[in-house]
Amino acid sequence: MTSNYKIKDVGLASQGQISIYLAESRMPTLMKIRSSFEKHKPLENISIGACLHVTRETAALIRTFSLGGASIALCASNPLSTQDDVAAALVKDNVSVYAWHGNDSEYYDCMRRVLDQKPNILIDDGADLIVLAHKERQKALPTVIGAQEETTTGVNRLQIMSCKKLLKIPVIAVNNAKTKMMFDNRYGTGQGIISVIKALNTLFAGKTAVIAGYGWCSRGMAMRAKGLGANVIVTEIDPIRALEAVMDGFRVMPMAKAIKEADIVFTATSCKDVLTKHHFIDMKDGTILANLGHFNVEISVEDLEKLSKKKVKINEYVEEYELPNGKRLYLLGEGRLANLVILGGHPSEIMDLSFSIQALTAKYLTVNHANLENIVYDVPEEIDKNVAIAKLETMNIQIDTLNKVQEAYVKSFEEGT
Ligand X SMILES: NC(=O)c1ccc[n+]([C@@H]2O[C@H](COP(=O)([O-])OP(=O)(O)OC[C@H]3O[C@@H](n4cnc5c(N)ncnc54)[C@H](O)[C@@H]3O)[C@@H](O)[C@H]2O)c1
Task: Name the site residues for ligand X (rule: CB under 6 A).
Answer: 151-153, 184-185, 188-189, 192, 212-218, 235-238, 241, 268-271, 274, 292-294, 337, 339-340, 346
Residue 149 CB, nearest approach to ligand X (Å): 10
Handedness of CA 77, 277, 238, 340 (dihedral sign): positive
Cα–Cα distances (Å) from 220 to 10, 224, 232, 372, in that order, read 37, 6, 12, 34
Burial 198-207 (b: 16+ CB within 10 A, else e): ebbeeebeeb
Give whichever of 9 and 302 is closer to ligand X, judged by the CB atom: 302
Residue 260 backbone phi and psi in degrees, to 5: -70, -20
Please identify, using beta-carbon distances, which residue of 216 and 330 lies nearer to ligand X.
216
Smallest distance, Å, CB 406 to ligand X?
34
β-strands 328-332, 318-322 pairing = antiparallel
Sequence-ordered list of residues with C-beta below 8 angstroms from that of 234, at least 6 positions apart, any chain:
210, 211, 212, 213, 214, 218, 222, 242, 245, 250, 251, 252
Nearest approach, Cβ of 376 to ligand X (angstroms)? 15
Using only C-alpha atoms, the chain has a radius of gyration, in whole angstroms, of 22
- In DSSP terms, 208 is beta-bridged to 231
User: Alpha helix locations (H) across 263-347?
Assistant: 277-282, 301-307, 338-343
Closest to ligand X by CB, 243 vs 312, is 243
* Of residues 152 and 348, the one with the C-beta less far from ligand X: 152
| Residue 114 near residue 129, CB atoms below 8 Å | yes
Query: From the CB of 222, what's the least distance to ligand X, in Å?
Result: 11
Is the Cβ of residue 64 or residue 159 nearer to ligand X in the bound state?
159
User: What's the closest the beta carbon of residue 378 comes to ligand X, in angstroms?
Assistant: 14
Phi, psi (5° rounding) for residue 252?
Answer: -125, 135
Nearer to ligand X, 37 or 187 (CB): 187
CB 319 within 8 A of CB 304: no
Cβ-based nearer residue to ligand X, 354 or 366: 354
CB 47 within 8 A of CB 94: no
Q: How far is the CB of 28 from ligand X (least distance, A)?
A: 21
Strands 310-315 and 318-322, sheet pairing: antiparallel
- In angstroms, what is the minimal distance from the CB of 26 to ligand X? 17
Using CA atoms, how far apart are residues 140 and 119, in angstroms rounded to an integer? 8
Surface-to-core class of residue 337, CB atoms within 10 Å of its CB (0-12 exposed, 13-18 middle, 19+ buried): buried
CB of 237 to ligand X, least distance (A): 4
Closest by CA to 135, choosing from 177, 166, 94, is 166
Min dist. Cβ of residue 166 to ligand X (A): 20
Query: Within a 13 Å sphere around the CA of 43, how many CA atoms are in the beta-carbon half?
Result: 30
Is the CB of 64 or the CB of 235 nearer to ligand X?
A: 235
Q: What is the DSSP-derived secondary structure letter of residue 307?
A: H
Is the CB of 271 or the CB of 372 nearer to ligand X? 271
For residue 364, the minimal CB distance to ligand X (Å) is: 22
Q: In the complex, which residue's CB is closest to ligand X?
A: 215
Q: Which residues pair with 50 in a beta bridge?
A: 74, 123
Q: Which is nearer to ligand X, 188 or 335 (CB)?
A: 188
